[in-house]
Amino acid sequence: MSKIAFLGLGRMGEAMATNLLKAGHALTVYNRTPEKADALKQQGARVATSPAEAVREAEFVFSMVTDDHALTELTTGPDGILSDLPANAIHASCSTVAPETNRQLAAQHATHGSYLVAVPVFGKPDAAAAAKLWLAVAGPAEARERIKPILAALGQGTQDFGDDPGAANVVKLCGNFMLGAAIEAMAEAFTLGQKSGIPRQQMYEFFTSTLFNSPVYKGYGKLIAEEHYQPVGAPPSIIRKDLKLMLNEGRERVVPLPFANIIFDRLSATMARNDENIDWASFAQRVSDDAGVDNYK
Amino acid sequence: MSKIAFLGLGRMGEAMATNLLKAGHALTVYNRTPEKADALKQQGARVATSPAEAVREAEFVFSMVTDDHALTELTTGPDGILSDLPANAIHASCSTVAPETNRQLAAQHATHGSYLVAVPVFGKPDAAAAAKLWLAVAGPAEARERIKPILAALGQGTQDFGDDPGAANVVKLCGNFMLGAAIEAMAEAFTLGQKSGIPRQQMYEFFTSTLFNSPVYKGYGKLIAEEHYQPVGAPPSIIRKDLKLMLNEGRERVVPLPFANIIFDRLSATMARNDENIDWASFAQRVSDDAGVDNYK
Amino acid sequence: MSKIAFLGLGRMGEAMATNLLKAGHALTVYNRTPEKADALKQQGARVATSPAEAVREAEFVFSMVTDDHALTELTTGPDGILSDLPANAIHASCSTVAPETNRQLAAQHATHGSYLVAVPVFGKPDAAAAAKLWLAVAGPAEARERIKPILAALGQGTQDFGDDPGAANVVKLCGNFMLGAAIEAMAEAFTLGQKSGIPRQQMYEFFTSTLFNSPVYKGYGKLIAEEHYQPVGAPPSIIRKDLKLMLNEGRERVVPLPFANIIFDRLSATMARNDENIDWASFAQRVSDDAGVDNYK
Amino acid sequence: MSKIAFLGLGRMGEAMATNLLKAGHALTVYNRTPEKADALKQQGARVATSPAEAVREAEFVFSMVTDDHALTELTTGPDGILSDLPANAIHASCSTVAPETNRQLAAQHATHGSYLVAVPVFGKPDAAAAAKLWLAVAGPAEARERIKPILAALGQGTQDFGDDPGAANVVKLCGNFMLGAAIEAMAEAFTLGQKSGIPRQQMYEFFTSTLFNSPVYKGYGKLIAEEHYQPVGAPPSIIRKDLKLMLNEGRERVVPLPFANIIFDRLSATMARNDENIDWASFAQRVSDDAGVDNYK
């Protein structure tokens, strides 16, 4: 049983924090909008009024926030994590951010005498709630070893990506990209089928029960077959940011990424036209648009 | 137990014919190069010296040949299927051909008093040998019903795509395209990872044991992780032809298909540079080329 | 002064035929819809009621029709050119068709004892009327030499592309592609400018009076700046066919053509949505669509 | 006659500074590597040892440096322009930088009581030497009016893009993009022609004497026809940076830019493989690579 602080209680963060609490840890939580902490409070979590207060006695700190800016503020800003974190404590940075952001924050942790381990997670909020996330872990070897037992409460498996905390984020960005590629591939196939007289649903059922019989293809494929993109797992703007970070890594490493460009452009076109209250997989509608069909619901 | 003719004994055809023989059917086989029939002969098949002779008493005829031209010759040429096929017999056209080719041949069968059912199959030769193919079926309803029990010997499932024989071929072409999209997506991800310091193998293992835990990603992903494209499942020129047929369908139906264009271009660049003795998934090497890395084996 | 037949009196054909008449040649014309020959008749042309009749005494035959099928019918069909063309006569095939079509018709001319020279032309109907076309010529050397003095009446210059009649068509297809590339480039630039606060017109004026000070950029750029695609020079479906023929040549010769793919897809998306009563450059509106701006007129 | 400082004496900067000197202005120059100032010194320029010293009495300051970082350092760093610039002086920022960089520096100038006007230029060093540049100007109206007479010595024309200094940079980035699009278009056309039997040179001559008869197509087209990319106008890494800035503007303004993505990827692949001692138009070799032809010199 450890002393853990959890910062950032969006849908993903709340579900993960709940699982840490269930696992028997002493949990202190913090969220900018304090009402989001209510449910956790009722289950026994202590609620702090600042990141600094939350981490004051922590052995482990988890953060799960929207973007690089929020993470940097949370970590190095006034009343941030580094203003009061005990020496030797470990910061598990779970947000989807640029690899370089975690590298820079890791260096500041090292100066402070603490550790940053990047722990991006794969799975939607329902997978987080069911402790069925997949986790990638990267950072200093000692810290990775110490945090692994804690991570067991969050998901169904953890893979180690070495000492560079940025590496885990590259993996996370690539994972979102690969989902996007599967979405575009299904959209092109189902739309061509539709215009050739084959119901989208029929093609969906065939492929997801044969060659592409996996939860990812089934889950996103259903949305694409029905062209009904509710409920919102993640809005287009959030995943567009992830694709942007991936393309930035490709620029930095000099790797042309034509599929990633197309997905990014699809998400841009989706943002340019729609409101945000729709799942990011709705970029598949651009394939239908360009083919002159309209199945939207 | 039925009288069946099997025409075209490449690696796929031979494996499928063997399974029909094992299922107890009376099998007559034909292949342009007759030596390929030897193994089947030893197992009890009769060997014919022309398509016409092979089909003379058949209730069902299976064909599995290289391309549209070969199928058309086999069906309508001198000494072809239609020169001697009994009335009411059913031609199961399994080759990967243009939807329109099967439509036209189906019309000639109808005139002849026989049936054509398109039965494209999904799976490599080892899946064919293990009777683990997936089959799509389309054509006249009566003929589809009559042939389904026969098909059970070939695979692990059959999906029905209605009366238009072309529909099953559209599905087949889309399936190969979706495989190509998965290959390109892994190639972009693994190459970006590699240039960011993450071993290709590590990324491969993570994704294929989590989000993309399916035989297709595992099988092709291994080739891409190792950049070793042997043995040859299908050479680049064969699948390039399939992508071309899919793009033709997109032209005809007016469906822009940007991912399909990229895969076709990758296969073209692969053909323009390499010999054919390499699996088609080797188009993933173009991603490495463009990133200036060389892992080829 | 020569005896010339002109077959195909669309806007391009009529303008070219008029210039041959003005140059003093004895002109016989034919058009499937005979009323289109009226103006030429008043100017002194003889009007024939079939291709065969038109060419009966011709030294030179010009054809300018919509597509490969129309050209093949006109040349080899019943009452077509080859049914009555005198030996040694030269057929100047001006339509935008597949290189292979002209190669095959050239072989049939050779058998007949006559010649086919491919003479695709560059320029809109107003350039044709002003005898300001540019001409590419390819075919047997002797025939090329004989026809060049006649071609002088049609344009401002002729370039020779050797003995293979298909070569001139490859050049023509590449020319239309290069126009398409200039259109897409301007559309991307003007739209980015617009969303950055720079009026489209301002950017248009700057570039077409500096780096891109040429009639092509001025002419198409004006349409794109104003997003007003009238009058119709050529509808999207016609130029989409040309891009298709170019991509076919790329397939045959194994040349990946990513820009050509994008232009073809833009034209497909335009066809899938709009009526045909709009200039092909209107595919530039897809750039605006994807950026969420609407300037259409 | 005005007092002018010129900072940054690369090939472009030196040529521009020389023309200001010839026009009779009192010129002070500064370059980090001082030897590059020798030729200007002999022609009468004063040589300063820091930016601050150079601008101390200036009415106008021109800067022409490599990138955003260098410009920001030069302007706001220790001993930079703003440490000693007289009130009301005008800084003509000529470098190809992000629109936002000039916007931010303009704000600092305003605080300082001076002005920044963005003046990106179009043309290679030889055009700069011949005073044949084209200039885009944007910034505060008063400053624009005051600097225009000075700019007359540098080029053959100036276009005004309003009050936002960033606007001129957007135009500059779009200009480089449009050059890249023309290069790719010619590369695709010439390579397809070559593989169809048409010499690259022949196609080059035809198009650049007809539809694309303009210095830009002639100049870059010659390199592409010969696949000989010497001398180096600008290396691939420099123009890749410009395309990156353009794509960044597209991200910010939410404008999908498919052609720009392709050109950026081509430049990345070129950087990943080649040394830098080659002109950026050499990205056209990637088209040849993908088609399996090798004409490099």
* Sheet bearing D115-118, strands edge to edge: D46-47, D26-30, D3-7, D60-63, D90-93, D115-118
Interchain CB contact of B296 with A (< 8 Å): no
pLDDT, tens only, A191-224: 999 999 999 999 999 999 999 999 999 999 999 9
Q: By mean pLDDT, which of A15-29, A155-169, D52-66, D268-282 is the weakest?
A: D268-282
Q: Which residue has the tokens 């030429």?
A: C40
Query: How far, in Å, CA of D271 to CA of C259, rounded?
Result: 21
Q: Is the pLDDT of residue B181 over 80?
A: yes
Of B196, B213, B290, the CB nearest to A170: B196
Res. B276 pLDDT band, cuts 50 70 90: confident
Report the mean per-residue pLDDT for chain A. Answer: 96
Q: Is the pLDDT of residue B30 over 80?
A: yes
Q: What pTM did the predictor assign? A: 0.96
State residue A296's pLDDT score: 79
Q: Three-state DSSP class for B182?
A: helix
Of B256, B261, B268, the CB nearest to C269: B256
CA separation (Å) from A135 to A8, A122, A185, A214, D278? 18, 6, 26, 18, 45
State residue D40's pLDDT score: 97
| CA closest to B262 among chain C residues | C258
pLDDT, tens only, B230-249: 999 899 999 999 999 999 99
State residue D274's pLDDT score: 74
State residue A274's pLDDT score: 74
Interchain CB contact of C141 with B (< 8 Å): no
State residue D149's pLDDT score: 96
Report percent pLDDT > 90 for chain B: 95
pLDDT, tens only, D135-157: 999 999 999 999 999 999 999 99
State the fold for domain C3-163. Rossmann fold (3.40.50)
State residue C275's pLDDT score: 74
B41 catalytic residue (yes or no): no
Res. A297 pLDDT band, cuts 50 70 90: confident
ipTM confidence: 0.96
Orientation of helix A215-226 relative to helix A200-208, angle to 10°: 180
State residue A281's pLDDT score: 97
Of C198, C209, C246, the CB nearest to D161: C198
Res. A270 pLDDT band, cuts 50 70 90: very high
Torsion of CA C254, C255, C257, C261, to 10 degrees: -10
Of D244, D254, D271, the CB nearest to A268: D254
For residue B187, the number of C-alpha atoms closer than 13 Å in the C-beta half-sphere is 33
State residue B294's pLDDT score: 87
Torsion of CA D141, D143, D146, D150, to 10 degrees: -120
pLDDT, tens only, C178-218: 999 999 999 999 999 999 999 999 999 999 999 999 999 99
Per DSSP, helices labelled H in B196-257 are 200-208, 215-226, 236-253
- Which part of chain D is CATH 3.40.50.720? 3-162
Of C22, C172, C195, C241, which is the active-site residue?
C172
Q: How many residues does chain B have?
A: 297
Q: Is the pLDDT of residue A121 over 90?
A: yes
Interchain CB contact of B265 with D (< 8 Å): yes
Cβ pair B254:C272 closer than 8 A: yes
pLDDT, tens only, B160-177: 999 999 999 999 999 999
For residue B36, the number of C-alpha atoms closer than 13 Å in the C-beta half-sphere is 18
State residue D139's pLDDT score: 98
pLDDT, tens only, C111-122: 999 999 999 999
For residue D226, the number of C-alpha atoms closer than 13 Å in the C-beta half-sphere is 10
Report percent pLDDT > 90 for chain A: 95
State residue D276's pLDDT score: 79
Cβ pair B262:A260 closer than 8 A: no
Show which subunits contact D, needing at least 3 CB pairs below 8 angstroms: A, B, C
Report the mean per-residue pLDDT for chain D. Answer: 96
Report, as an integer, the average pLDDT of B214-242: 95
Cβ pair A273:C292 closer than 8 A: yes
pLDDT, tens only, D52-100: 999 999 999 999 999 999 999 999 999 999 999 999 999 999 999 999 9
Q: How many CB atoms lie within 10 A of CB C262?
A: 23
Pair type for strands A121-122 and D60-63: unpaired
- Which part of chain B is CATH 3.40.50.720? 3-163
Question: C-chain residues within 8 Å CB-CB of D207?
Answer: 174-175, 178
| CA closest to A266 among chain D residues | D256
| CA closest to C186 among chain D residues | D178
Of A254, A265, A272, the CB nearest to D258: A265
Interface size A-D, in CB pairs within 8 Å, comes to 35
Cβ pair C272:A290 closer than 8 A: yes
Res. C274 pLDDT band, cuts 50 70 90: confident
Q: Is the pLDDT of residue C276 over 90?
A: no
3-state secondary structure chain D: CCEEEEECCCHHHHHHHHHHHHCCCEEEEECCCHHHHHHHHHCCCEECCCHHHHHCCCCEEEECCCCHHHHHHHHHCCCCHHHCCCCCCEEEECCCCCHHHHHHHHHHHHHHCCEEEECCEECCHHHHHCCCEEEEEECCHHHHHHHHHHHCCCEEEEEECCCCHHHHHHHHHHHHHHHHHHHHHHHHHHHHHHHCCCCHHHHHHHHHHCCCCCHHHHHHHHHHHHCCCCCCCCCHHHHHHHHHHHHHHHHHHCCCCHHHHHHHHHHHHHHHHCCCCCCHHHHHHHHHHHCCCCCCC
Best of A137, A164, A253 to disrupt the B interface by mutation (most B CBs within 10 Å)? A253
Q: Which residue has the tokens 């006249």?
A: B140
Res. C295 pLDDT band, cuts 50 70 90: confident
State residue D197's pLDDT score: 97
State residue B241's pLDDT score: 96
pLDDT, tens only, C127-152: 999 999 999 999 999 999 999 999 99
Q: Which CATH superfamily is domain B169-290 in?
A: N-(1-d-carboxylethyl)-l-norvaline Dehydrogenase; domain 2 (1.10.1040.10)
State residue B295's pLDDT score: 84
| CA closest to D251 among chain C residues | C192
Of D272, D286, D292, the CB nearest to B292: D272
Q: Point out the residues of A that are catalytic.
A: 172
State residue B97's pLDDT score: 96
- Where are the extended beta strands (E) located within chain C? 3-7, 26-30, 46-47, 60-63, 90-93, 115-118, 121-122, 133-137, 155-160
Pick from B123, B133, B125, B127: which is nearest to B154 by CA? B133
Cβ pair C174:D192 closer than 8 A: yes
Those of residues 45-74 in A touching chain D at CB distance below 8 A are none
Report, as an integer, the average pLDDT of D248-277: 95
DSSP state of C66: S
Question: A-chain residues within 8 Å CB-CB of C291?
Answer: 268-269, 272
- Which part of chain D is CATH 1.10.1040.10? 169-290
CA separation (Å) from C2 to C28, C57, C141, C227? 11, 10, 19, 45
Interchain CB contact of D292 with A (< 8 Å): no
Interchain CB contact of A261 with D (< 8 Å): yes
Q: A3-162 domain in CATH 3.40.50.720?
A: yes
| CA closest to C164 among chain D residues | D197
| CA closest to D134 among chain C residues | C210
Those of residues 145-204 in D touching chain C at CB distance below 8 A are 157, 159, 161-162, 164, 166-167, 170-171, 174-175, 177-179, 181-182, 184-186, 188-189, 191-193, 195-198, 202-203
Interchain CB contact of D251 with C (< 8 Å): no
Question: B-chain residues within 8 Å CB-CB of D240?
Answer: none
Of C171, C215, C255, the CB nearest to D195: C255
> Six-digit token pair at B63?
């064909």
Res. D233 pLDDT band, cuts 50 70 90: confident
Q: Is the pLDDT of residue D297 over 80?
A: no
Report, as an integer, the average pLDDT of B189-200: 98
State residue C62's pLDDT score: 98
Contact indicator for C262, C276 with CB cutoff of 8 Å: no
Show which subunits contact A, needing at least 3 CB pairs below 8 angstroms: B, C, D
From D294's Cα to the closest Cα of chain C, the distance in A is 13
Interchain CB contact of A295 with D (< 8 Å): no
Of B172, B241, B244, B297, which is the active-site residue?
B172
State residue B15's pLDDT score: 97
Contact indicator for A245, A173 with CB cutoff of 8 Å: yes
| CA closest to B248 among chain A residues | A192
Contact indicator for B258, A191 with CB cutoff of 8 Å: no
From D179's Cα to the closest Cα of chain C, the distance in A is 9
Cβ pair A256:D269 closer than 8 A: yes
For residue B19, the number of C-alpha atoms closer than 13 Å in the C-beta half-sphere is 22
From B111's Cα to the closest Cα of chain A, the distance in A is 24
Q: Three-state DSSP class for A7?
A: strand
